Amino acid sequence: MVFDTPFGITALGIAIFLTTYFTYTRWIDRKVWSPDPKRPTPAHMYMDGVEFFPVSRFVLYGFQWNSIAALGPILGPGIALTFGWLPAFLWIIFAALLIGWVQDYSAIFLSVRREGRSFGPIAYELLGPTPRRLLLGFLLFYLLLINAAFLFVVATVVDAWAGSFWTLLVLAITAVLTGQMLFKMRMPVVQVTLIAIVLLAIGVVIGTLFNWPPPGTLGTAPYTLWYIPLIALLVAGAILPMPRLITPMNYIAYYTLFPAVIMLAVGSLASIFTGVKVNTPAFTTFFGPFATGPLWPALFVSIACGAISGWHSLVSTGLTSKQIDVETDVRPVGAGAMLSENLVGLTALAAWIVLPAGTAVAPANFPRGAVTLTSPIFGGAAAAPVLSIFFASYMVGMAVTILTILGRFWRVTMAEIFSGTSLSFLGNRYVATVLGFVLPVAFVLTGSWINIWLYFGGTNQLLAGFALLIVGLYLFTLRKFHWYSTIPGIFMLTTTLAAIAWQTNVFATATVTPVIRRPDGTLAPFFAQQAPLLNLGGPAALSGVNAFSTVMGVIMFVIGALMAVYFIRAFVRYARQPAQTTPS
């Protein structure tokens, strides 16, 4: 059976992605948006050589793909395995067919047709000022949650694979050196790149040789200690000028991302020859543990960017749409990059499902699966320690590069919200940046990374739902075929609101009953990982931390529900108006 090995799902997935690209995306492209290569795009109309200038579709494809690839598609499939590999696989395929690319592609096209406007102004234009303010508030909480989820994952991975921290440190130092060599010493890019790659390889070797301290030797809650250096690095990244640290780090991290994805894809496709078997059950249960919730909605928010992600709409309208050369490029850039991202999710799923049956779903286990999948081809058992650190660094690097960008984004959003108010100090660059990484620690103290991840997934996909509905609304005002975007939008909105409601209920339960009595009579925290906090502050501390998460969940749910109401009102309003060529 081909499905005994990861080859089956990978080959079938790739075939479906290609078919989707050459059939459905093309059909929507022609039927709905009718791209005209002669129509000037914002890149030509408003060319300023900074934001607006035409860029080749291959360059934009690479940029878009690298910008949307983060930790979601790597880790998400592991959480989805709670329900077995088949539901996870089917959701990736279903999303790739009908939802994921629809959002990315349509968001770019909508922005191209609206003079290169980004997500916020388009929301204002179609929905009005209040939804735009709601969106701004929503983004603030979304950034907190994404920071919390990614920080949590990085800390647990670093705790299990301490070598990856030293590799990260080398990456950061290499990034600073790269920035200096490129911008101060003005060395040629090729030379700088070669030096950076060599330093990166040295970093992996250092991480392998210096895999210290061993897991479990840093006390009862070891991963929390890793936050100190991690937050220090992220704050520096968010405050320093971008060419000093962030952009060189993103640039160098690409040389980890690309080989890792290729290695995973090759390992998956070659598994039919290497004999690496699928060890995870195809289907386990519809009703997962209480903390995770039932398959619907939990599965649909767990895989995040590997299926669909709201972050993509921000990238698509924030920069990509302003540099589209001709309208016919939107499909290869938007849909092509998203389908490639689906492939990242699929190869990560392949790495998860080869882990021995019964292996706990924990971020630190991904490198083990990746090594099982790839080591038969890339160096055998002898290379396993290096590969482990390489894949752990791949996870850490993907998370940290996006976290630094998010840190800056958070800082600017805070300044936008609080400037000119009595709380303007919250918009101060230093205060805002530190808050952006310290506040998420309150989530982290819940100790349950899966719940934080599902919260993040819920808000992330909810943002995607907003983007899909905004596209649907725009097409509706023109009386064009909007259902291809509106139906996925409604599905995502409903599903994510249900997921946020479930997780809020979980945290509310943990607030009311912070400790539970075990069968042997001893007391234990609701979330097992909260044991150190229980010892430190007692049940009241647990209740306080869990109440914080509950309140955040309620806020997210209310904003989502209000946005749903505004969408319904907007659809009703535009239904009463004649078709427009440009929406008022």
Partner 1 sequence: MSKGRFISSLRKALTEVSYGAALHGQVSAVLKTRMYIEHMFILMILGDMLGFPILPPYYSLRLLPYAVPNVKAWKHRFYRERDFTDVIYG
Which residues are near partner 1 by CB under 8 A? 46-51, 55-56, 58-67, 117-121, 136, 139, 183, 189, 193, 241-243, 246-248, 250-251, 254-255, 258, 314-315, 317-319, 405, 408-409, 412-413, 416
Minimum gap (Å) between residue 50 Cβ and partner 1:
4
**Longest pairwise C-alpha distance within the chain:** 75
**Residues comprising the chain, all counted:** 584
Looking at the Cβ atoms of 102 and 253, the one nearer to partner 1 is: 253
Helices (H), 303-383: 311-318, 330, 336-353, 366-374
Cα–Cα distance between 561 and 466 in angstroms, integer? 11
Looking at the Cβ atoms of 50 and 357, the one nearer to partner 1 is: 50
Looking at the Cβ atoms of 242 and 478, the one nearer to partner 1 is: 242
Cα–Cα distance between 284 and 288 in angstroms, integer? 9
Q: Match 């290869």 to its residue by tokens.
A: 332
Looking at the Cβ atoms of 116 and 297, the one nearer to partner 1 is: 116
Minimum gap (Å) between residue 124 Cβ and partner 1:
8
Minimum gap (Å) between residue 318 Cβ and partner 1:
4
Cα–Cα distance between 205 and 271 in angstroms, integer? 27
Looking at the Cβ atoms of 291 and 315, the one nearer to partner 1 is: 315
Backbone angles phi, psi at 99, to 5 degrees: -125, -55
Minimum gap (Å) between residue 251 Cβ and partner 1:
5
Looking at the Cβ atoms of 60 and 403, the one nearer to partner 1 is: 60
Looking at the Cβ atoms of 49 and 519, the one nearer to partner 1 is: 49
* Residue 462 contacts residue 310 (beta carbons within 8 Å): yes
Looking at the Cβ atoms of 66 and 543, the one nearer to partner 1 is: 66
Dihedral class, residue 421 (left if φ above 0, else alpha if ψ from -120 to 50, else beta):
beta
Torsion angle of the four alpha carbons 532, 534, 540, 545, in this order, in degrees rounded to the nearest 10: 40
Helices (H), 478-530: 483-512
Minimum gap (Å) between residue 185 Cβ and partner 1:
15
Minimum gap (Å) between residue 303 Cβ and partner 1:
22
* Residue 24 contacts residue 97 (beta carbons within 8 Å): yes
Minimum gap (Å) between residue 456 Cβ and partner 1:
18
Minimum gap (Å) between residue 326 Cβ and partner 1:
15
Among residues 438, 566, 562, 458, the alpha carbon closest in space to that of 505 is found at 458
Copy the structure tokens of residue 131. Answer: 């939804």
**Residue 324 pairs with which residues in a beta bridge?**
55
Minimum gap (Å) between residue 56 Cβ and partner 1:
5
Minimum gap (Å) between residue 246 Cβ and partner 1:
7
State the SS3 of 550-584: HHHHHHHHHHHHHHHHHHHHHHHHHHCCCCCCCCC
Looking at the Cβ atoms of 291 and 319, the one nearer to partner 1 is: 319
Looking at the Cβ atoms of 190 and 360, the one nearer to partner 1 is: 190
Minimum gap (Å) between residue 580 Cβ and partner 1:
20
3-state secondary structure of 368: helix
Cα–Cα distance between 546 and 411 in angstroms, integer? 26
Cα–Cα distance between 471 and 469 in angstroms, integer? 5
Single-letter residue type at 280: T
Helix (H) or strand (E) holding 517: strand 515-517
Minimum gap (Å) between residue 525 Cβ and partner 1:
38
Q: Alpha carbon of 32 to those of 27, 475, 482, 486: distances in Å?
A: 8, 8, 8, 13
Backbone angles phi, psi at 39, to 5 degrees: -75, 125
Looking at the Cβ atoms of 249 and 570, the one nearer to partner 1 is: 249
Looking at the Cβ atoms of 118 and 550, the one nearer to partner 1 is: 118
Cα–Cα distance between 539 and 217 in angstroms, integer? 26
